């Protein structure tokens, strides 16, 4: 058998092994693009790319690296939770840059937006001690306020261009939905950043069921949609707004889409909604919504992406009685793709994008010569012998043959077995 044929056989074996099982419930002419996702369970966490035929193209047991895995301006980006930073990968699986917030703020994992000019926007949180008795009647003289949302924009050289601080631009006393009389107040939970059509920012604050529009020049709040400071009238919406939402996006048609977790709706129910928002008249008219036939409730996480053909890709988030569920529906609400993971696995956000690696996907081919041989074993041994080897995506994919999230003797044994047998 030729080296090339051997490589193909090995590739077919490797790309199917050890990735969490999922059930294909429906597959009927979905949008032809790949799924990007990060699945989590107590025992394993995988980044993966799954093609439009639902074949697993690429996967890495990445531990706590991989939240919000997606294509971002011709690069792959994901959050490195242990380092509290964003990693940018190119089409060779090589790390190109690391992004994090400036100052003492701890970079948050919920969203990263990279712009055409290379600028990027991150979010973080601050925490401070506050004399709440001077702000609200009955407040504690010493209260620990967490969840103070920070937004920072940088240029491509990592120079800070803009910073928004919720404590400076909002009044916590206005958030009457919160218990402001306790000595430990969690204020905000920002979970998406969107650059609006006029270059200002749309921010989702899950804790208070609100979307804020922020002026990107001076940081002033332009309006609040939903929540205790709502300025809009909801039209044709039986739920009269959203509850504990995720993934707020401005669509190409000018409308705003939201993954509405709906945790505190009566009855609780998750849905994807699309509003026509008139910013002058302050109205939000429900144009389209989708609820799952099984009346799914995603307690946390979740996402919704409008695809170029008009379909909507939905990740239903954390479901109490089942694992991660991913659904793609047409504008007419017909399901064209649906996959179900086991009840141990969940996923934060799912996206569809076009992507091609410019290197082979033969895991174990450490020197990129399209064949696995003794040279690759030597590379893994040398790497394993290093005192503190770096577990970046390239080495995890190429060297971690047993998909246990580490590079160890087990990987060497599998390589030897493949070559011999």
pLDDT of residue 275: 98
pLDDT of residue 323: 96
Q: What is the dihedral of CA 90, 53, 274, 194, to 10 degrees?
A: -10
- pLDDT exceeds 80 at position 9: no
pLDDT one-digit tens code per residue, 84-139: 999 999 999 999 999 999 999 999 999 999 999 999 999 999 999 999 999 999 99
Does residue 236 fall inside a structural domain?
no
Q: What is the mean pLDDT of the chain?
A: 93
**Residue of 74, 34, 41, 60 lying closest to 351 (CA atoms):** 34
Dist CA 98 CA 22 (whole Å): 32
**Residue of 69, 78, 35, 301 lying closest to 191 (CA atoms):** 301
Does residue 4 fall inside a structural domain?
no
Query: Given the DSSP bridges, would you call strands 221-225 and 233-235 parallel, antiparallel or unpaired?
Result: unpaired
Does residue 405 fall inside a structural domain?
yes
Does residue 253 fall inside a structural domain?
no
pLDDT one-digit tens code per residue, 152-205: 999 999 999 999 999 999 999 999 999 999 999 999 999 999 999 999 999 999
pTM, full prediction: 0.93
Termini Cα distance of the chain: 13
Dist CA 404 CA 230 (whole Å): 48
pLDDT of residue 1: 33
pLDDT of residue 5: 33
Dist CA 103 CA 101 (whole Å): 7
Residue 135 CA from chain centroid, whole number: 36
Does residue 415 fall inside a structural domain?
yes
pLDDT one-digit tens code per residue, 384-405: 888 777 788 998 999 999 888 8
pLDDT one-digit tens code per residue, 248-260: 999 999 999 999 9
pLDDT one-digit tens code per residue, 222-255: 999 999 999 999 999 999 999 999 999 999 999 9
How many separate domains does the chain show?
1
Does residue 351 fall inside a structural domain?
no
Going 21 to 26 to 27 to 33, the CA torsion angle's sign is negative
Of all helices (H) and strands (E), which one includes residue 127? strand 120-130
Structural domain span for residue 398:
374-420
Does residue 380 fall inside a structural domain?
yes
Does residue 401 fall inside a structural domain?
yes
Give the E-state strand segments of 20-63 in sequence order: 22-27, 34-40, 45-50, 56-61
pLDDT of residue 17: 46
Q: Give the length of the chain.
A: 421
């Amino acid at each position: 058998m030729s080296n090339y044929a051997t490589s193909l056989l090995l590739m077919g074996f490797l790309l199917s092994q050890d990735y969490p099982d999922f059930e294909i419930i429906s597959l009927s002419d979905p949008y032809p693009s790949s799924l990007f996702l990060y699945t989590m369970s107590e025992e394993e966490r995988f980044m993966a790319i799954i093609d439009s035929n639902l074949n697993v193209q690429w996967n890495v047991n990445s531990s706590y690296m991989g939240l919000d895995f997606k294509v971002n301006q011709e690069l792959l980006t994901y959050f490195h939770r242990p380092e509290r930073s964003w990693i940018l990968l190119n089409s060779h699986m090589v790390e190109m840059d690391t992004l994090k917030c400036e100052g003492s703020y701890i970079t948050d994992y919920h969203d990263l937006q990279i712009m055409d000019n290379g600028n990027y926007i991150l979010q973080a949180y601050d925490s401070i001690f506050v004399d709440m008795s001077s702000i609200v009647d009955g407040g504690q003289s010493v209260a620990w306020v967490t969840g103070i949302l920070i937004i920072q924009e940088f240029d491509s050289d990592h120079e800070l261009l803009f910073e928004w601080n919720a404590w400076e631009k909002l009044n916590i006393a206005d958030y009457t939905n919160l218990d402001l009389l306790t000595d430990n107040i969690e204020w905000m939970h920002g979970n998406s950043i969107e650059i609006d059509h006029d270059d200002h920012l749309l921010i989702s604050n899950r804790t208070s069921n609100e979307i804020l529009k922020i002026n990107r020049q001076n940081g002033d709040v332009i309006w609040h949609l939903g929540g205790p400071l709502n300025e809009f009238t909801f039209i044709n919406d039986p739920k009269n707004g959203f509850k504990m939402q995720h993934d707020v996006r401005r669509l190409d048609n000018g409308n705003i889409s939201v993954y509405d977790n709906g945790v505190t709706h009566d009855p609780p129910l998750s849905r994807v909604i699309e509003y026509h928002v008139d910013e002058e008249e302050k109205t939000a008219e429900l144009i389209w919504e989708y609820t799952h036939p099984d009346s799914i409730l995603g307690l946390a996480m979740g996402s919704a992406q409008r695809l170029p053909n008009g379909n909507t890709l939905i990740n239903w988030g954390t479901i109490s009685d089942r694992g991660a569920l991913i659904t793609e529906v047409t504008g007419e609400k017909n399901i064209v793709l649906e996959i179900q993971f086991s009840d141990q696995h969940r996923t934060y956000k799912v996206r569809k994008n076009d992507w091609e690696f410019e290197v082979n996907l033969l895991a174990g081919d450490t020197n990129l010569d399209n064949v696995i041989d003794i040279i690759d074993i030597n590379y893994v041994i040398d790497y394993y012998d290093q005192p503190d080897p770096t577990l970046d995506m390239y080495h995890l994919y190429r060297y971690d043959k047993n998909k246990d999230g580490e590079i160890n003797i087990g990987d060497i044994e599998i390589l030897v077995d493949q070559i011999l047998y």
